[in-house]
Amino acid sequence: MRVVRSIADLRALLRPLKAEGKRIGFVPTMGFLHEGHGALIRQSAARCDATVVSIFINPTQFGPSEDLANYPRDLERDQNLCLEAGTSVLFMPDVNEIYPTGFQTHVEPGRLAETLCGRFRPGHFRGVATVVAKLFNIVQPDLAFFGQKDLQQTVVVRRMARDLNMPVDLVVVPTIREADGLALSSRNIYLNEDARGRALQLSEALLAAKAAFDGGEREADKLLKLAYSALAGVDSVQYLELVDVQNLEPIQGPVDKAAALCVAAYVGSTRLIDNVLLSPSAGDITQKS
Ligand code: AMP
């Protein structure tokens, strides 16, 4: 595994691979890696000839009162995980490499960035879209791997790649969870024992609604009420929404298309997000139309 910090060095490493027609996979991260990131890297290593992982804590996607300064870091552990998961090139630029003096051009996503997390994190997806566009231009991958854990991010980035004609295909990897169901997240490190116990309610609530859905319940209201009632132990629910996975619009009435039940909640001072997919069978859709 090669570790590079400059765009010029990264391009120099990738140039011969591209010239040979090698397929390049890319996994953008903010570091403090865990097995969720590991799953993305492994998929890329399995499907591509070379895998580039970036570790960059992107300042433009953090709000003024968010955890940029305290975002957890452990570069030595990250390097070991990258190596073990099959990374070919680890790109770790510093902030000036990505945002040099005079930087002023941003990618402005549309409506998809205004719902769900976008309502509570103004500017977040503008920062995400901008850094991902830059990283796509720097790496020029054939495939880019993103986690379903950040579902809205996958939808916003896919739209951006289509709208701006970026020649990259997105692969969305299912959420990796602890044995008890908690979605792996770099931010779980902030949870003390009490908060860790209560954080479990996010996945429990989503999985309870999914079990009801799989058992035949189709009414959005009932599924939402069921999930909400399982969230009594969290400190505040920012949103709990059942949305169309394509356009993130809320679903009312019966769930008759591929949907996602998405939650964001605070446990103590830690903001956590999670989601599950609910897919009606082809039979359900046919019946409706
Ligand atoms: P982050 O470092 O949090 O920006 O995440 C980098 C990538 O890893 C994003 O595409 C995330 O969606 C993905 N990711 C984070 N947590 C998980 C998880 N538990 N399972 C799968 N992918 C994840």
Please give the model's pTM, rounded to 2 decimal places: 0.96
- Regarding the beta carbon of 176 and ligand 1, being less than 6 Å apart is answered yes
- Asked if 25 and 119 touch (Cβ cutoff 8 Å), the reply is no
Cα distance between residue 206 and residue 91, in whole Å: 35
The CATH number of 2-173 is 3.40.50.620
CATH of domain 186-283: 3.30.1300.10
Q: What span, in angstroms and rounded, lies between the C-alpha atoms of 183 and 12?
A: 37
pLDDT tens-digit profile of 23-73? 999 999 999 999 999 999 999 999 999 999 999 999 999 999 999 999 999
Average per-residue pLDDT for the chain: 96
Q: Where in the chain is the domain with CATH 3.30.1300.10?
A: 186-283
Which residues are catalytic, by number?
37
Strand order across the 50-55 sheet: 2-4, 89-91, 50-55, 24-29, 143-147, 169-173
Q: Using CB atoms within 10 A of its CB, is residue 214 exposed (0-12), middle (13-18) or buried (19+)?
A: exposed
Where do the CATH 3.40.50.620 domains begin and end in the chain? 2-173
Q: How far apart are CA 78 and CA 286, in angstroms?
A: 47
Cβ atoms 139, 18 nearer than 8 A:
no
Calculate how far, in angstroms, residue 40's C-alpha sits from the geometric centre of ligand 1. 8
For residue 36, the CA-to-ligand 1 centroid distance in Å is 6
Ligand 1 and 39: CB distance under 6 A: yes
Query: Ligand 1 mean position to 61 CA, how many Å?
Result: 15
pLDDT number for residue 280: 78
| CB-ligand 1 contact for 147 (6 Å cutoff) | yes
Predicted local confidence at residue 282, as pLDDT? 52
Read off the pLDDT of residues 155-206 as tens digits, 9 standing for 90 and up. Answer: 999 999 999 999 999 999 999 999 999 999 999 999 999 999 999 999 999 9
Q: Please report, rounded to a whole number, the percentage of residues in the chain having pLDDT higher than 70.
A: 97
List, for residues 60-112, the tens digit of each pLDDT value: 999 999 999 999 999 999 999 999 999 999 999 999 999 999 999 999 999 99
DSSP 175: P
